[in-house]
Chain A
Amino acid sequence: MARAARTALLATIATLIAAWVLFPILLISLAAFSSRAQLYSWPRAIFPTPPTMDTILFFLRAQGVWQATLNSLIVALFTIALAVAIGAPAGYALSRFRFPGREGFRLGILATKMFPATVLAIPLAVAYIRWGLYDNLLGVAIVHTALALPFAVVITTSVFIGVPMELEEAAMTLGCTRLQAFLRVALPIALPGLAAAAIFTFVLSWNEVFAAAILTLHNRTLPALLINAVAFAGAPLDYRFAGGFFMIVPAMIIIFIIRRYLMTLWGVTIR
């Protein structure tokens, strides 16, 4: 009896917490499908009556939104390419070799997680003006890479640890070079994990506001465009809600795809 009561209590707490997480997402979705007139009316209905695409279409047709979405995608793709190209070799080295300086490198990588965009963006903006990278999508992708790199290294390390060394060694005894053994044996097995690292990098870049807002002027990414519209241009409510909704949809789909890697990506403990 006590056990059943305990189970019921746990189930209630879990349900309440899940509702607390999901409810606000439901609300912004309802707002995104309500008309502007309804969003500004009083008394207001909770459900859109009738549901309408007007608000979302208004947002998508607003000046700069399509271009900013495209820019966000370009920046995210550049970031993925850079982060995987630079991070995966380091992850492979950490997973396969024990060498002097290994622990130092791992600690350094962890430490870089702790100085996010706020500190990097402003000095980089000044440097970018000199280097011709200011208001340039590649420049934004570079900062996003700096932010994503620690995660890329950590996840690729764990991915390559999961690929048995013996397979590569076997390939080498059969006449492959080290590189061939890696490309033909280790890489195909590691691909799903690497894809997860790439997808995570996408979310990070897609969501990043501060650096993108500081480093661009005309070539805005979507978050940079939105924060500017909210902070300086006094965007109307329908624009804001549709924008918020538009930003969370891809991110939510993606987090569901990489759910198995959640622990590897974030669950790192400093010991």
Chain B
Amino acid sequence: MAAADEVPDLARAGRPRIEWLPYLLLAPSLVFLGVFFAYPLVQAFGLSFLRPEGGLTAEHFQRMLGDTYFRGAITNSLLLTAIVVPIQVAIGLVIALLVNSRFRGHLWFLYICAIPLAISDLAAGLIWLSVFTERGYLNTLLHMVGAVREPLTYLSAEQPVWLYGAIIAAEVWRATAIVMIILLAGLQLIPRDYFETADVFGAGGWRKLWHVTLPLLRPSLQTALIIRTILAFQLFATVITLSGRQVPVLAGEAYFWYGLYRNPHVASAYAVLIMGVSVVITWVYLRALRTREEEVAG
């Protein structure tokens, strides 16, 4: 974003006056986001906290809390996020460092690793379904090497570890790319001199990574963590394609409450819960990973 700060200062040329043009140009975005973004956000609270005939109520939240799927949904959402996000950050960091080392063919490597950016959670779920379904590629492979005779069932509530594993595999495969791109953009902002200086002082590869790269990469790591964690709570189509409702998750329950039970109030309660969790987690990350000025020179 450094380039954006070097904008020529048109408005200050000549005598000080208010330049209306930029505000005019921003107006459509502001109006649009006001009507179709801010309004529904407020409306989500209205739907979940108000009675249809008026007056505050906790009834919709009580229904949500009392639902048989609720406990599972919140547990699964938290657990899957806690497992998936660190793996994504680790693999994303490895890929970003590899690309940034500019080995021969690194651009092709980058494009290949970026492919999942174009693949929806739904398609990713279907792709991994072809692997984990009973007559899928995993069983076929195991049969070929003689490990199984009859197909094993993986995507069943009786095999929670496999079921979870399939969802994790699909999510890590699909959404590591976005972490990688954010970290790579951050890596490219680090001036080369830092590494040269580290070389002069005789720092080895690992020490450079630990003492130079990672501290300088902190803002990007923070962004990647926030975006990925928030998106992990939107997890929906991957889980439905792989498990149906055997692994309920928060966004999936919002979908079922609206699409199946036609109850926008409880569905909104789920939406508000997702929003609340996202805000809390963002706040925690921002505090825990606060960029300290003395560590990031410049």
**Which residues of A pack against B, CB within 8 Å?**
7, 10-11, 13-14, 17-18, 20-22, 24-25, 27-28, 31, 39-46, 82, 85-87, 89-90, 92-99, 101-102, 105-106, 108-109, 112-120, 122-127, 142-143, 145-146, 149, 153, 157-158, 161, 165, 178, 203, 206-210, 213-214, 223, 226-228, 230-232, 237, 240-241, 243-244, 247-248, 251-252, 254-256, 259, 262-263, 266-271
Query: What separation, in Å, do the CA atoms of A242 and B21 have in the docked complex?
Result: 50
Determine if A17 and B95 form an interchain contact, defined as CB atoms under 8 angstroms apart. yes
- Contact with A113, one of B94, B101, B126, B227 (Cβ below 8 angstroms): B227
Q: Are B129 and A256 in contact (CB under 8 A)?
A: no
Complex Cα distance, B227 from A230, in Å, reads 28
Complex partner residue of B219 from A85, A263, A270, CB under 8 angstroms: A270
Residues of chain B from 16 to 53 with CB closer than 8 A to chain A in the complex? 19, 21-23, 25-26, 28-30, 32-33, 36-37, 39-41, 43-44, 46-47
Bound: A230/B120 CA distance, A: 15
- CB of B94 within 8 A of CB of A90, answer no
Does B25 lie within 8 Å of A90, measured CB to CB?
Answer: yes
Verify B4–A213 contact, CB threshold 8 A. no
Establish whether residues A105 and B26, one from each chain, have CB atoms under 8 Å apart when the complex forms: yes
Contact with A along B90-120 (1 / 0, CB 8 A): 0100110010010101000111111111111
Q: Which residue of A lies closest to B133 (CB)?
A: A237
B185 contacts A86, C-beta separation under 8 Å: no
Please report B residues at the A interface, Cβ cutoff 8 Å. 1, 3-4, 7-12, 19, 21-23, 25-26, 28-30, 32-33, 36-37, 39-41, 43-44, 46-47, 91, 94-95, 98, 101, 103, 105, 109-123, 125-131, 133, 135, 137, 139-141, 143-144, 150-151, 173, 178, 181-182, 184-186, 188-189, 219-220, 222-223, 226-227, 230-231, 233-234, 236-237, 240-241, 244, 251, 254-255, 258-260, 264, 267-268, 271-272, 274-275, 278, 282, 291
A263 interface neighbour in B143, B150, B181, Cβ under 8 Å: B181
Are A120 and B4 in touch, CB under 8 angstroms? no
Q: Does the CB pair B21–A93 fall under 8 Å? A: yes
User: When the two chains form their complex, are residues A227 and B240 in contact, meaning their CB atoms are under 8 A apart?
Assistant: yes
Docked pose: A262 CA to B177 CA in angstroms: 11
| Cα A237 to Cα B129 with chains together (Å) | 9
Interface of B, secondary structure class, is: helix
From A25, A44, A232, give the contact of B260 (CB < 8 A).
A232
Q: Is the CB of A120 within 8 A of B37?
A: yes
Q: Are A97 and B21 in contact (CB under 8 A)?
A: yes
Judging by beta carbons under 8 Å apart, are B240 and A118 in contact? no
Chain B minimum-CB-distance residue to A98 = B9
Q: How far is the CA of A262 from the CA of B46 in the complex (A)?
A: 38
Partner of B137, one of A46, A85, A113: A46
Q: Which residue in chain A gives the minimum CB-CB distance to B39?
A: A127
Q: Is the CB of A10 within 8 A of B4?
A: no
Residue ID in chain A nearest B23 by CB atoms:
A99
What are 26 A-B contacts defined by CB distance under 8 Å? A10-B103, A14-B103, A21-B112, A93-B26, A97-B11, A99-B11, A114-B282, A115-B41, A116-B234, A118-B234, A120-B36, A123-B46, A145-B36, A158-B3, A161-B4, A209-B237, A230-B240, A231-B244, A241-B129, A244-B122, A252-B118, A252-B119, A267-B181, A267-B185, A269-B220, A270-B223
Closest 8 CB pairs of A and B: A267-B185, A244-B126, A207-B120, A123-B43, A255-B118, A93-B25, A251-B118, A97-B22
